[in-house]
Structure 1
Amino acid sequence: MKKRILILGGRGRVGSRVAEDLINFTPEVEIVVTGRKASPTLPSPDPRMQFLELELAEENQLKSAIESVDLVIHCAGPFHYRDATVLKMCIEAGVNYIDVSDNRSFTLKALSLHNLAQEKGITAVINTGIFPGISNSLVRLGVEELDEVETIHLSYVVGGSGGAGITVMRTTFLGLQRPFQVWKNGQWEQVKPYSDREVIPFPAPYGKLGVYWFDMPECYTLAQSFDVKTVVTKFGTFPDFYNYLTGMVAHQWPPSWLQNTAVIEFLSQVSYAMTTVTDYFSGIGVAVRASAQGYKGKKPVEFCSTLTHENTAIAAGIGTGSVGQLLLTNQLNKPGVWPIEQALPTDLFKQTLEERHVTIESEYLAQV
């Protein structure tokens, strides 16, 4: 029998790419994509895909939809506004779960259900996608290369809108609202969002670009997943002038403005309108650089992995779709609620990327 998948937010930019990935790489599936309003358009004309009009707030309808499938993939962001209701329903219904969450508060709520999911035999993998997601697996790859790791340094750059729609703009500005905790030198320290600019060498076509502290769930989960002293997660956009505009908003606007949902929406709409113009020359791609610094054979060394893709939304679809493929084909079975770097073994991570013709470039940056 074909496995049934429910993709919440499956008509959004990221959700539709997840659906396309699963259609292409997991043949024996039926996919139900949801949206708040009926529409004749679907991510794919493939007959294995169908649409369900669904409001997440309608819990009875949501519960019924979850109970009718084998896997739920939650793509209905921004996750700043979500709780763990969908995950709870999946655990109660005995249905495996994946999400593309990118918010620390949501991540903590999901992880609090670990024991319950484990008792019910449900595998739930959170923070999939590109960053967090593929980025975290690149970190795991680097950590496994070294005997001892002291510092993890993750940097991301996105071209323009990233092809991910206005939701990514909302997520960016919501991330500027307040300082956050990061793991530095073996203790938690508070930093300001979009601070401490650092110029990082990314693969072509990006080159050296500025990145800044940004509150991502991997700030927390990587420090829990690996025995390290410092975890750095920094984000930037291309072209670089967007970084200066975002920094101005973060540091010069009154904090009360950034707490106002109307202001967030205004900034998101204006930024998205700007990127519809600049996307033509900046592209909508993504680059991730994951560095693990520590020791191998008692010698100090840095192991660095990079990955690029010409479309950020497609890359996110690959990250999430590949985890769905592994769950549906029983290659991944780990009851509990897990951040991606704890759930996905490196060999399976590499296998799914190779199937999708995505290349990882890795090198030691110091003599071993």
Structure 2
Amino acid sequence: MTNRVLILGGRGRIGSSVAQDIATHTQAKITITGRSPGNEGDVDARWLTTKQDWNLGTEVEFLVLDLAEVDRLQEAIANSDLVIHCAGPFHYRDTKVLEICIEKGVNYLDVSDHRSYTSKALNLDAQAAAANVTAIINTGIFPGISNSMVRQCVEQLDQPEKIHLSYLVSGSGGAGITVMRTTFLGLQHQFEAWIDGNWQLVKPYSEREIVNFASPYGRTGVYWFDMPETFTMPHSFPSVKTVITKFGSVPDFYNHMTWIAAHIFPKWLMQRRAMIEFLSHVSHFMTDVTNPFTGIGVAVRAEVTGQKQGKTAVYFADLMHENTALASGCGTGSIAQLLLEGKFKKPGVSPVEEALPTDLFIETMKSRGIEIYCNW
């Protein structure tokens, strides 16, 4: 029988990239949702109008659906084998979709990227396990592929002690307004980070650090940024005493503008939705101008320090992709493929680094032409 995949928020840049990956690597019947019908001029839906150009046999449908329509949402989930939640920003989301999936016995993935949602989802672990539902949260590129890169590094050491994750995005990264909103929402509050075995408050976009990313990026500045990995990895890898997550942009002047938004703008102003919308749209317009010069790629560098045969050692993993949104689609789509093919199952609610075995991660990345470069 044909597998049925429901992608909530599937007309956005990330959601459509997930749909494209699943359409490329599986024969699943895909239904994507949006709150309005859209039209052929909608850039975020354009891949649907050119699906035949890929010579794919996959069937794709569009469903107008608002997540507030609980009855229709329940019906759509009940008629699916896998639900993928791409309707961010997740700062505002409750776990209604996940709860319905558990109730209906349907496997679940999401591209959530904020610890508030992550913590709420993890509280449903026992219910998901009892229902034999596999729910993997924080899939995508970062979080997502980045988490599996860390696991790959951790497994090379006898005792991992410190995780340092750095992310770099060129221009818009090929993403839409929602990702811009996520960035500015992440600047509103201090957050807890696991440092030297204690939870310590950290200011967002602080402590600039120069990281040597893979070519063509090289040495570039990154800053503290609140990511779910900061919250989940101390639990996934109990011997680790420090987890650092830092983010940066290309060109570098975007970093300085973001720093100003985080440290100079009044907090009360940054906490207004109207201000977030204004900054998001202005930033998206600016990246539309610079994208032709900078590209829309992403680089991730994972660095894990620990003990190897009684000595301190550092293991690195690097990734570079020319399109951030497509890379995110690969991260989520690869896990969807494994679930649909029956190669992977982990009842309960889990972050990626806790759930996905490294051999399957490497296998699916290679099938998508994504190389992870590792070294001591």
Length-normalised TM-score, structure 1: 0.97
For 1:145 and 1:238, the matched residues in 2 are separated by 31
What is the match of residue 323 of structure 1? 335
Cα deviation digits, residues 204-251 of structure 1 (max 9, x gap):
111111100000011000111002010000000001110001001100
What is the match of residue 281 of structure 1? 293
What is the match of residue 229 of structure 2? 218
> Which residue identity lines up with residue 278 of structure 2 in the other structure?
F
Aligned to 1:71, which of 79, 82, 89?
A: 82
For 2:190 and 2:15, the matched residues in 1 are separated by 29
For 1:292 and 1:317, the matched residues in 2 are separated by 25
> Which residue identity lines up with residue 115 of structure 2 in the other structure?
R
For 1:13 and 1:50, the matched residues in 2 are separated by 17
Aligned to 2:92, which of 69, 75, 81?
A: 81
Q: Does 1:301 align with 2:303?
A: no
What is the match of residue 8 of structure 1? 8
What is the match of residue 259 of structure 1? 271
For 2:294 and 2:269, the matched residues in 1 are separated by 29
Aligned to 1:271, which of 252, 267, 283?
A: 283
For 2:260 and 2:11, the matched residues in 1 are separated by 33
Question: Shift of the alpha carbon at 1:39?
Answer: 3.3
Question: Shift of the alpha carbon at 1:40?
Answer: 4.9
SS of the equivalent of 1:60 reads helix
Aligned to 1:207, which of 210, 215, 218?
A: 218
SS of the equivalent of 2:187 reads coil
Cα deviation digits, residues 138-197 of structure 1 (max 9, x gap):
000000000111100000000010001111110000000000000000000001000000
Question: Shift of the alpha carbon at 1:284?
Answer: 0.3
What is the match of residue 369 of structure 2? 357
What is the match of residue 143 of structure 2? 132
Amino-acid identity (%): 58
Q: Does 1:154 align with 2:153?
A: no
For 1:230 and 1:210, the matched residues in 2 are separated by 20
What is the match of residue 292 of structure 1? 304
Structure 2 unaligned spans of 5+: 53-57
Across the aligned residues of Structure 1 and Structure 2, the Cα RMSD in angstroms comes to 0.8
Length-normalised TM-score, structure 2: 0.95
SS of the equivalent of 1:78 reads coil
SS of the equivalent of 1:116 reads helix
What is the match of residue 189 of structure 2? 178
For 2:280 and 2:13, the matched residues in 1 are separated by 16
> Which residue identity lines up with residue 12 of structure 2 in the other structure?
G
1:185-204 superposed matches below 5 A: 185-204=196-215
Aligned to 1:142, which of 153, 169, 174?
A: 153
1:112-127 superposed matches below 5 A: 112-127=123-138
SS of the equivalent of 1:79 reads coil
Q: How many residues align?
A: 363
Cα deviation digits, residues 24-77 of structure 1 (max 9, x gap):
1112x1000001111355543356000000000111110010000100000001
Question: Shift of the alpha carbon at 1:312?
Answer: 0.1
Aligned to 2:351, which of 339, 349, 352?
A: 339
1:229-248 superposed matches below 5 A: 229-248=241-260
SS of the equivalent of 1:188 reads strand
For 1:240 and 1:204, the matched residues in 2 are separated by 16
What is the match of residue 33 of structure 1? 32
For 2:141 and 2:82, the matched residues in 1 are separated by 20
> Which residue identity lines up with residue 356 of structure 1 in the other structure?
R
SS of the equivalent of 1:80 reads coil
For 1:103 and 1:203, the matched residues in 2 are separated by 26
- Which deviates more from structure 2 when the two are superposed, residues 266-275 or residues 40-49? 40-49
SS of the equivalent of 2:87 reads coil
> Which residue identity lines up with residue 29 of structure 2 in the other structure?
E
Aligned structure 1 segments of 4 or more residues deviating by more than 4 angstroms: none
What is the match of residue 228 of structure 1? 240
SS of the equivalent of 2:306 reads strand
SS of the equivalent of 1:136 reads helix
For 2:361 and 2:318, the matched residues in 1 are separated by 14
For 1:103 and 1:150, the matched residues in 2 are separated by 24
